[in-house]
Structure 1
């Protein structure tokens, strides 16, 4: 299905508006709950800037047209100023970089989220580090591919002679799509131990499997986007429209768990049902409560320790054993630790 620039712009506006609303909601809830401005707060602010910047750039290159459109319709340039086509083609490169920045910032937010709820599980920590390294390396590779797929770079905005198929940026698209899917799978593997940690209530199971469903949905959207762009010979309007959809889905998947978890904890505090004294505003939060502050999934610290070291068992002896001294006094002997 071929989309026109008007449809691509309208979908872009709607998806960008929804994405920004989600991100701003997260910031407002964070400030309302007086949470510290940590790394996730920085990523959220950068995401808002990237989304706004991309939608502005999208407006201009969809209005000006691009060299890619000339490949689809040789008469396209007859109705557009050549200099505007060149400007639009340059802006496309900037938009692709901003899209990659936005998507990878959502990946970083998810990595921070999973790092909190799986902290203390050795192999999950290793997978998390692997995902961080993969995210950094793939981001660099995609940005380089964005500018270097056409060499020299002037081919991106060259109209005559025909610059060839490199302006369709299939390599950049495939690298971005495959890398996104691989990292999403890593994130699902990181969260998998949560299923096996302990018995859960029905609501906890629903929340947990919703998290997996969101991650799977994000992968499906990435695949649909890549397939449709190939079917439309990399039409720029198709690329723009589905990039906007993917940006919104990624933004929702990355921020919905944290927003929901924060609202749930705030609702519990308002209702007065505090299970532990750690919820008091003037007392420090314990580790499980810090986890609940950031997510909708709870994990017991003891279970995390067992998962980390399956061969280590708790010492069943009491805190002190007794020993007889030389003068027949009964002395407490220090407990041996596992």
Structure 2
């Protein structure tokens, strides 16, 4: 027999272990420093815990979901307080789900905002980030305002209506906004992978990593489908919500765990160049023949194919050309940036002998 509670807590526990490993990897490879994406991952832990606990409480207390005008009036008055309490938990579980899902997006948006610094994709990252904030606010307002006043969401008698209990429009509208922003988030790193000067095998691996958000979209669609299909499939829908969270944790944590596995020797590290940085850090080239601005240290910025830039990133508009740091050694076996060469040319001019005295030496 399917046990929803066992699945939710098991996946929640596995997710916490993955997040703990990811934060440990950031602490060790990032020299004890954390970033805003780590803060968003902390929010994920909080709201995922709320979501799991409140859904469990709904299962214990019961709620007004599944009632109708007739069955609601048949409930004994002694049972009303318990069902009302469970309905409040269901309302909060919806809020925690929205906060959790958009916290996952925050992890990736802060990461991509750092990694695309100096590239034209940085502007795209900012636009997508603004869209994520707007869709987050829209989802919250829709959940709260679809049933007015909000207190009707935990009303038992008389029956407040499906919009206050089942909330079928929540699954349609909020899930649509969720999927739309996921597509926007995935559109940021994929152009970098396509233009990368790395072997096709590595391109496929990176493309699969950055496209793995499709799995969360599928989980979200299945959650919405089983939620609106029938009241008897609601438990299946809640199971897909928990799976969606676990898949998201794996996706956002995988790049951060990779440097730790490489350091432990579990994964082969990318061949380093003569100056100690990965040779594939120059894997992007602009149309004018220069290099993209380097966008991070592999230890600090999760992705192993970016070169550390010790000084402030420099870029000329959107030309994506980069002048190397003069304090860094220039590799002898490859282009390290723009080299300025001064040439002196000597020319001789023959002067007729009759006019030699008219010309003075320079």
TM-score (norm 1): 0.79
1:13 paired residue among 9, 14, 21? 9
Structure 2 residue runs without a partner (length 5+): 278-292, 324-334, 347-359
2:301 paired residue among 264, 285, 294? 294
Higher Rg of the two aligned structures: 2
1:319 aligned onto 2:316 = no
Matching residue of 2:60:
63
Matching residue of 1:43:
40
C-alpha distance in 1, partners of 2:303/2:103?
21
Q: Deviations over 1:160-212 (max 9, x none)?
A: 22211112122322232111111111122111212332332254223212214
C-alpha distance in 1, partners of 2:140/2:200?
43
- In the comparison of the two structures, how many residue pairs are matched? 315
Q: Say whether the 8 Å CA contact 1:214–1:253 is kept in structure 2.
A: yes
Q: Deviations over 1:35-73 (max 9, x none)?
A: 412212212222212222222222211110110132499
1:30 paired residue among 23, 26, 31? 26
RCO comparison, higher one (Cα < 8 Å, 6+): 1
Equivalent runs, 1:171-210 vs 2, <5 Å: 171-210=169-208
C-alpha distance in 2, partners of 1:234/1:61?
15
Evaluate the alpha carbon distance shift between residue 271 and residue 198 of structure 1 in structure 2; reply closer, same or farther with a 3 A threshold.
Answer: closer
Structure 1 residue runs without a partner (length 5+): 280-285, 329-338
C-alpha RMSD of matched pairs (Å) = 3.9
Q: Say whether the 8 Å CA contact 1:168–1:234 is kept in structure 2.
A: no
Equivalent runs, 1:84-95 vs 2, <5 Å: 84-95=82-93
Q: Say whether the 8 Å CA contact 1:20–1:51 is kept in structure 2.
A: no
Deviation at 1:311, TM superposition (A): 9.9
C-alpha distance in 1, partners of 2:216/2:142?
23
SS in 2 for 1:70: coil
Evaluate the alpha carbon distance shift between residue 256 and residue 95 of structure 1 in structure 2; reply closer, same or farther with a 3 A threshold.
Answer: same
Evaluate the alpha carbon distance shift between residue 30 and residue 299 of structure 1 in structure 2; reply closer, same or farther with a 3 A threshold.
Answer: closer
Evaluate the alpha carbon distance shift between residue 63 and residue 192 of structure 1 in structure 2; reply closer, same or farther with a 3 A threshold.
Answer: same
Matching residue of 2:254:
256
Bigger mean CA deviation after superposition, 70-79 or 288-297: 70-79
TM-score (norm 2): 0.74
Which structure has more helix as a fraction of its residues? 1
Bigger mean CA deviation after superposition, 90-99 or 235-244: 235-244
2:133 paired residue among 97, 118, 136? 136
Evaluate the alpha carbon distance shift between residue 260 and residue 163 of structure 1 in structure 2; reply closer, same or farther with a 3 A threshold.
Answer: same
Matching residue of 2:290:
none
Equivalent runs, 1:95-244 vs 2, <5 Å: 95-122=93-120, 124-166=121-163, 167-233=165-231, 236-244=234-242
Deviation at 1:293, TM superposition (A): 4.3
Evaluate the alpha carbon distance shift between residue 253 and residue 327 of structure 1 in structure 2; reply closer, same or farther with a 3 A threshold.
Answer: farther
Matching residue of 1:282:
none
